[in-house]
Amino acid sequence: MSFVIENWVLLSVALTSGGMLLWPVLSSGGGADSLNPNEVVQLMNRDKAVVVDVCGADEFAAGHVVGAKNVPLEQLEAKLTGVVKNKATPVVLVCASGMRSKRALAVAKKLGYENVRSLSGGMGAWRSASLPVDKA
């Protein structure tokens, strides 16, 4: 017990740094519905996943995942069934940072899509992984 009392500053620094290391994992939504860029590529290649970019048209034109279809978040509920007809098809939702795609995930699940996931970190993570970007 005396060790804890005498070294409380070191222990608090250790706990703080541990928390800071865990923060990106916890805040990025690394849950079951999130994929990293490499997992998205595997899903696209292996299972022919459809990538749906939920950004606005201007962001989509500035750069998007190769082969992605653009359906802005505000139009997703009305247009997703026209873009991806088979609700069993794997769908990956993408946006600039990963926040809108998380919201889009709830919309897609409400529409009955069984295998829908979100790109964790969005296009920022995609570009950081040095994966190809298409510009329209």
pLDDT of residue 26: 58
One domain, residues 40 and 86: yes
49 within 8 A of 90, measured Cβ to Cβ: yes
> Residue 59 and residue 102: Cα distance in Å, rounded?
17
Which tens digits make up the pLDDT trace of 33-54? Answer: 899 999 999 999 999 999 999 9
Rounded Cα distance, 107 and 104, in Å: 5
Residues 77 and 35 in one domain: yes
Q: Is the model more confident about 28 or about 63?
A: 63
Specify the pLDDT at position 24: 60
Residue 56 has pLDDT above 70, yes or no: yes
Pick from 33, 41, 12, 36: nearest CA to 24? 36
pLDDT at 133: 94
Question: What domain range includes position 41?
Answer: 31-134
Structure tokens, 132: 């190809």
| Contact residues for 67 (Cβ-Cβ < 8 A; gap 6+) | 44, 51, 134
Residues 122 and 59 in one domain: yes
Decide: 80 and 71 in contact? Cβ < 8 Å.
Answer: yes
What is the pLDDT averaged over residues 61-73?
95
Do 13 and 43 reside in the same domain of the chain? no
> Do 8 and 40 fall into the same domain?
no
Has this prediction a pTM greater than 0.75?
A: yes
Taking the C-alpha atoms of residue 101 and residue 94, their distance in angstroms, rounded to an integer, is 5
Which residues have a Cβ under 8 Å from the Cβ of 34 and sit 6 or more positions away?
28, 98, 117, 118, 119, 120
Whether residue 72 contacts residue 54, with contact meaning beta carbons closer than 8 Å, is answered with: yes
pLDDT at 30: 54
